[in-house]
Structure 1
Amino acid sequence: EDRRQALQSPVSHELVSHPEGRRRLERLAHALLKANPLLMRTDGLTSLAAPLVAVFPDNEPAAFLALQRVLHGFLWHLYAQEAAMHRRQVMHLFGALLGFADPQLGLHLNSIGMQPDLYASDWFPTWFAALLPLHQTVLLWDALLLRPPQFSLFLGVCLMHSFRRSLLAMEEASHVSSFLASCAQLVDVAVLVQA
């Protein structure tokens, strides 16, 4: 039941605004669930699948194989058994890295009640596909695939640091949350991966 619910969760990509794109995405997600019965967490899988449906629009087997490779090669621990523990560890590590790289920003966010799990919990399991538009996500994934698995955490820190001035000016958690949810159009992935 939870596994099916993940497929019904909204994905904000432009891909799903077209009925055929939505059908392709659903077929890929269903195939992934069928091939991986040990998946314990399914939230984020449709966001994770969307860039691959876009990259392989007429080749669903290639999209499936690429998704399997990304999932098993990089993100399995965030979806398999004990996924909740691994996701908490990722959030803790991300918060620690942000505090080390930009102590003022880290302290400010903590002081207004913005813990990383409130704004970044879907960034890492989806490799930012839940945040960024498809064209930006594809560029970002090119960089992620060429670097160590921990690189996504550093990208998250760079992303937060790039919005430092705006975030430090915000005194309410709801403003920070809204800003981060809508900041995708402001992200320059080419600059972000070079940071």
Structure 2
Amino acid sequence: PIPTDRQIEVDIPRCHQYDELLSSPEGHAKFRRVLKAWVVSHPDLVYWQGLDSLCAPFLYLNFNNEALAYACMSAFIPKYLYNFFLKDNSHVIQEYLTVFSQMIAFHDPELSNHLNEIGFIPDVNVFPLHKIFHLWDTLLLGNSSFPFCIGVAILQQLRDRLLANGFNECILLFSDLPEIDIERCVRESINLFCWTPKSATYRQHAQPPKPTSDSNGIRSSTPFFSTECPDPPKTDLSRESIPLNDLKSEVSPRISAEDLIDLCELTVTGHFKTPTKKTKSSKPKLLVVDIRNSEDFIRGHISGSINIPFSAAFTAEGELTQGPFTTVLQSFKGKVIVIVGHVAKHTAEFAAHLVKMKYPRICILDGGINKIKPTGLLTVPSPQI
């Protein structure tokens, strides 16, 4: 007997009980054994409601091998739900929801604006087993950030109904989730994953990454299917941890200096590489918007970046002030746009303005221009003759 026995006994009869195997007396007994084995073998963690739902697919697929079902669940949880089962997990959950909110803003600013206006935080219910299997077959090929992309893909299937309704209607919509096309969800989540810079989904409370020699800024869809996508190791140019309240105050995600350097294809001389001609580039185009004043910009900036000083960037109505680079910015709508400055509050506000204007794929350089200075990659314009 353990203290969580009562909660386990309550949860099991409610978990996928439409299924004959899991609803059988033997199914209940196996459920109980696997869940209790996990609880007693993880003394630093506790049983939270929802652990039964994580156990169900592995138990169903390994019904006659409880040890394998337990092993699968024990490997799955630290990769995708690291520290979710701490006794006090509020900081972990809050960080996860904040990053998810930033991912919605990154991929679908119109939907993000609406959800923020009505104060609705999406909450996806449990899918039937046959849909979970299909979804997790893809999920298990990605790293710990892939569930964010699945979440956004699901929301985008519901976006028309979400955009047309207020808070109460959205609550009702999620309490009785409409039919979701899982094949479409898988397809679109992979596309979202490939468009998302690795560091944009950084979480302080994620599982510490394993060392790897690969470091591409935006993922190519090919390695996604051919091998596991590990989480990147930490370097001097990686993202830094910031307080949760600061993270919550930012609508757009941050990306690391190493991601920016890779995405801009900067060489040690600080210039763009000459792109080789390909039928289809594995990396999307990217624009760096430097919001420092023009004097600071001239002293040194990222090669290929444009300068839109924060102080005069927007009108009182929140519209972009027309200037020499406004057209360039507008022409990059739909591509990844990185906001760079030296005042974190200003870069966050500039990014939030663009999200309000329905610019997708907006992100902020973590650490600002100061993170790039030590690399020697800043360039100074040649003097005019």
Q: Is the 8 A contact 2:131 2:182 kept in 1?
A: yes
In structure 2, the gaps of 5 or more residues are: 189-385
Alignment partner of 1:57: what SS? coil
Alignment partner of 1:29: what SS? helix
Equivalent residue runs for 1:67-86 within 5 Å: 67-80=73-86, 83-86=89-92
1:35 matches 2:41? yes
Alignment partner of 2:83: what SS? helix
Task: State the partner residue of 1:190.
Answer: 183
Aligned counterpart for 1:179 among listed residues 168, 173, 176: 173
Aligned counterpart for 1:14 among listed residues 7, 18, 31: 18
Could you tell me how far apart the structure 1 residues matched to 2:180 and 2:110 are?
A: 21
Could you tell me how far apart the structure 1 residues matched to 2:3 and 2:133 are?
A: 28
How many residue pairs align between the two structures?
182
Per residue, is there more helix in 1 or in 2?
1
Task: Map Cα deviations across residues 69-116 of structure 1 (whole Å, 9 max, x no partner).
Answer: 112333232223653211111100101111221122122222222124
Aligned counterpart for 1:157 among listed residues 152, 159, 166: 152
Q: Does the C-alpha gap of structure 1 residues 2 and 108 become closer, same or farther in structure 2, counting only changes over 3 Å?
A: farther
1:90 matches 2:96? yes
- Choose 1 or 2 for highest CA Rg: 2
Q: Does the C-alpha gap of structure 1 residues 98 and 41 become closer, same or farther in structure 2, counting only changes over 3 Å?
A: farther
Identity across matched positions, percent: 26
In structure 1, the gaps of 5 or more residues are: 121-129
Alignment partner of 1:66: what SS? helix
Partner AA of 1:14 in structure 2: Y
Task: State the partner residue of 2:53.
Answer: 47
Per residue, is there more strand in 1 or in 2?
2
Alignment partner of 2:81: what SS? helix
Q: Which structure exhibits the higher relative contact order, with contacts defined as CA atoms closer than 8 Å and separated by 6 or more residues?
A: 1
Which deviates further from its counterpart, 27-36 or 79-88?
79-88
What TM-score results when the alignment is normalised by the length of structure 2?
0.44
Task: Map Cα deviations across residues 1-26 of structure 1 (whole Å, 9 max, x no partner).
Answer: 87345422343453454333233222
Task: State the partner residue of 2:4.
Answer: 3
**Structural RMSD (CA):** 2.2
Could you tell me how far apart the structure 1 residues matched to 2:87 and 2:43 are?
A: 11
Alignment partner of 1:23: what SS? helix
Q: Is the 8 A contact 1:13 1:133 kept in 2?
A: no
Q: Does the C-alpha gap of structure 1 residues 132 and 13 become closer, same or farther in structure 2, counting only changes over 3 Å?
A: farther
